[in-house]
A and B are shown apart, each in its own frame.
Chain A
Amino acid sequence: GQNIDQPTEMTATEGAIVQINCTYQTSGFNGLFWYQQHAGEAPTFLSYNVLDGLEEKGRFSSFLSRSKGYSYLLLKELQMKDSASYLCAVGTGGFKTIFGAGTRLFVKA
């Protein structure tokens, strides 16, 4: 079967760095996406990886290892507004997208 695993919840302190892991097993792979979703709102795109390695975008970085079926999202200089759910998603064979259940991040002062 196909599945994506990520931790349910994480807590971190304002100003710190947090790493959210995602492991996946899918039939086919067309890239891995990270989305941010604040409570009561729609998901918004953060990053995309299709090749192995690190992609950096401001305070956010995303890493991919296709051989290990593993990705992580790194958030630096955490701010209170980063409190949200972070969704890992994989574009599988064809045009389907599989999402993980999401990681709820709490940023405390």
Chain B
Amino acid sequence: EAQVTQNPRYLITVTGKKLTVTCSQNMNHEYMSWYRQDPGLGLRQIYYSMNVEVTDKGDVPEGYKVSRKEKRNFPLILESPSPNQTSLYFCASSLTGPRGNEQYFGPGTRLTVT
């Protein structure tokens, strides 16, 4: 089954404790992206990747890191989480990106930073 998976689905952590949210897709998509979704603000793009070893900032990249060492995986790293990073996070993938191709979203990761 074609899908995007994220782990963990739920995470409660404390300020400053480094964490990684994994994302994997099995559709051989070139483009992958991370979003956060907050009430009233909608989905905001954090980082995206056009292919292996090619990443770029979205609109809200501060406090986040990403890497794309393999085509299928695109982990999101929070080196020192803060309470303002409490949010619902979605990973998405697309064949070649938003130029004509829809994005497929993972199930989401609900992160709480205390």
A contact residues vs B (CB 8 Å cutoff): 30-31, 33, 41-45, 48, 50, 87, 89, 91-92, 94-102
Binds A, one of B14-22, B63-71, B79-87, B100-108: B100-108
Q: Is the CB of A31 within 8 A of B107?
A: no
Task: State which of A30, A41, A43, A91 has its C-beta within 8 Å of the C-beta of B43.
Answer: A43
Q: How far is the CB of A91 from chain B (nearest CB, A)?
A: 3
**A44 CA / B102 CA spacing, docked (Å):** 9
Q: Which chain A residues lie closer than 8 Å to B106 at the CB level?
A: 42
Closest to A91 in B: B98
Closest to A95 in B: B97
**A41 CA / B107 CA spacing, docked (Å):** 6
Given A42-B105, A43-B43, A87-B42: A96 touches B100 (CB 8 Å cut-off) = no
Contact of B45 with A by CB under 8 A: yes
Q: Which chain B residues lie closer than 8 Å to A99 at the CB level?
A: 35, 42-45
What are 5 residue pairs bridging A and B, where the CB atoms are less than 8 Å apart in the complex? A33-B98, A48-B102, A89-B98, A95-B99, A98-B59
Given A30-B98, A98-B45: A42 touches B108 (CB 8 Å cut-off) = yes
- Interface-central residue, A41, A48, A99, A100, by most chain B CB under 10 Å: A99
Q: A87-B43, A95-B97, A97-B98 are in contact. List 5 more A-B contacts (CB 8 A).
A: A31-B99, A42-B106, A43-B103, A50-B100, A99-B44
Bitwise, B43-72 to A at CB < 8 A (1) or not (0) is 111001010000010110000000000000
Q: Which chain A residues lie closer than 8 Å to B98 at the CB level?
A: 30-31, 33, 89, 91-92, 95-97
Q: Is the CB of B100 within 8 A of A31?
A: yes
Q: Which chain B residues lie closer than 8 Å to A100 at the CB level?
A: 42
The 6 A-B residue pairs with the shortest CB-CB distance, nearest first, are: A91-B98, A45-B102, A101-B42, A42-B105, A99-B43, A30-B99
